[in-house]
Amino acid sequence: MMSNKVTYWAELSEYDIKTAEAMLDSKRYLYVGFMAHQAVEKILKAYFVRIKSEKAPFSHSLSFLAKQANIYKEFSEKQKEFIDLLEPMNIEARYPTNKEQLLKSLTKKRCGEILKNAQD
């Protein structure tokens, strides 16, 4: 039963990565970070379910999910910095406080790096 949930979360994560790639290709940069966040969130939930054999926590916080799955301590400093960078993109894409400023900061190069790190 739990293996079905692991597969469920992992497949959604892969779908979200593909969506992030499509957003990058179509220059919809605001949503690259959002979908990258979604993909990382869902793969962390897949890992949590696999390790704990419990339902995934209802949270969008990547650091919280990683800590609950007992994997955060295994992250490199670069990975910790990346999830800290990705964390606000979940909210900012949905409710941008300054859309124009945010869009200026989301260049093709930066979004490509975000996507690559999320895939890793």
pLDDT value at residue 76:
96
Residue 87 binned pLDDT confidence (cut-offs 50, 70, 90): confident
Are 87 and 62 contacting, i.e. CB atoms less than 8 angstroms apart?
yes
Mean pLDDT of the chain: 91
**pLDDT at position 1:** 58
Q: Is the predicted pLDDT of residue 10 greater than 90, yes or no? A: yes
Mapped onto helix, strand or coil, the DSSP state of residue 74 is helix
pLDDT, one tens digit per residue, over 31-79 is 999 999 999 999 999 999 999 999 999 999 999 999 999 999 999 999 9
Residue 92: the pLDDT is: 67
For residue 22, the model assigns a pLDDT of 98
Angle between helices 2-25 and 108-119 (to 10 degrees): 160
* pLDDT > 90? residue 3: no
Q: What is the pLDDT of residue 104?
A: 75
Of 48, 118, 32, whose CA–CA distance to 83 is shortest? 118
- Over range 92-103, report the average pLDDT: 68
What pLDDT score does 93 carry?
65
